[in-house]
Amino acid sequence: MDVRIFSGAVPGERRDDTLVAHFDVHDVDALDEAACRTILESVLDHLARSPWPAGAGPRAWTFCLVEDGEVTMTEHAIYQRAATFPALHESIHRLVRATAAGAHRHRPWADEETPTGAAGASSLALLDRRWLPAYLQYLRECDLDHEVHQAGELDAIVQAHGWNSDTLALAAARLVGCCGQFGEEQVEAWYEEQGLDEALATGEGLAAFINAAQREFEAWAVGRPEDHVTGHLELFEPYLPGHALEDLRARALAAARPR
């Protein structure tokens, strides 16, 4: 079975086909830790030898298992299988990071709907809370103006870990730099149906949410028009008391102003 990388300018159209490894396994259901390690490390080694041009990576990029010219296991399934082996979690994280840069400053697409690395980042985040900051880093790299699966991933992550400082940071980001197509309605659903209201009713939860929102705006608002920043500030009105909202507004607009 071959480990192959496909890349190109159009998601879903596999143009450049690169062989990076071969191993004698013919049943994907039998992939063990060693086989998964071979796949991940061979792709990482290829990227190290042939890095993408800075700021000009491919628009479409993925890796697959191929046998007799047919794809037998996609990137998504490989990540999910590899994530069942704790010893491979660091390698998964390394590969997700190595595929961060793409065309138009967004991650390349693994297929028509999914950025490369999605299954790696979300699998780790579901398994262990310590990977939630890494998942948020991945989320910032996605083209969320064309999001498809991210809302479902986020719902699963919140359900898996409950509300804590890391998931509250995801909620804050979902109203600012990771708002995308569905951020506003997703946070509203979390508040009304998934216990976010209870989390924000505690002093600790509210403080964590405010701190995360401040960090978001201080990084995201730089150089943006004030009316754009104000529009995102309005999304926080249902969730913050007046004094906290005004303090957040002052910080966000200060970050937006030219220095």
Using left for φ > 0, alpha for ψ between -120 and 50, and beta otherwise, residue 6 falls in beta
Do 192 and 114 lie in a common domain? Answer: no
| 171 and 123 inside one domain | no
* Separation of alpha carbons 58 and 78, rounded Å: 21
73 lies in a domain?
yes
User: What's the gap between Cα 189 and its chain centre?
Assistant: 20
18 and 98 in a single domain? The answer is yes
- pLDDT of res. 14: 64
Residue 148: inside a domain, yes or no?
A: no
| Dihedral angle sign, alpha carbons of residues 139, 144, 149, 153 | positive
CB-based contacts of 231-237 (< 8 A; 24+ apart in sequence): 232/175, 232/176, 232/179, 235/175, 235/179, 235/183, 235/184, 235/187, 236/175
**114 and 19 both lie in a single domain:** yes
Instruction: Look at residue 149 in the predicted model and tell me its pLDDT.
Output: 96
Calculate the alpha carbon distances from 170 to 84, 88, 133, 163, 240 in Å: 24, 25, 9, 10, 16
Tens-digit pLDDT profile for the chain (259 aa)?
Answer: 999 999 988 776 767 899 999 988 878 888 999 999 999 999 999 999 999 887 778 999 999 999 998 999 999 999 999 999 999 999 999 999 999 988 888 999 999 999 999 999 999 999 999 999 999 999 999 999 999 999 999 999 999 999 999 999 999 999 999 999 999 999 999 999 999 999 999 999 999 999 999 999 999 999 899 999 999 999 999 999 999 999 999 999 999 876 5
- Both 101 and 201 in a single domain? no
Same domain? For 93 and 203 the reply is no
103 and 172 inside one domain = no
Domain residue limits at 206: 162-259
Q: pTM of this prediction? A: 0.94
- Determine, yes or no, domain membership for 204: yes
Same domain, 1 and 124: yes
Residue 26 neighbours by CB under 8 Å, 6+ apart = 1, 67
- Compute CA 145 distance to the chain's CA centroid, rounded to the nearest angstrom: 14
Domain presence at residue 140: no
- Residue 96 and residue 10 in one domain: yes
User: What was the pLDDT predicted at 12?
Assistant: 67
- Check residue 184 and give its pLDDT: 97
Burial class (CB in 10 A: 0-12, 13-18, 19+), 75: buried
The type of residue at 24 is D
Q: Count of domains in the chain? A: 2
d(CA 64, CA 25): 14
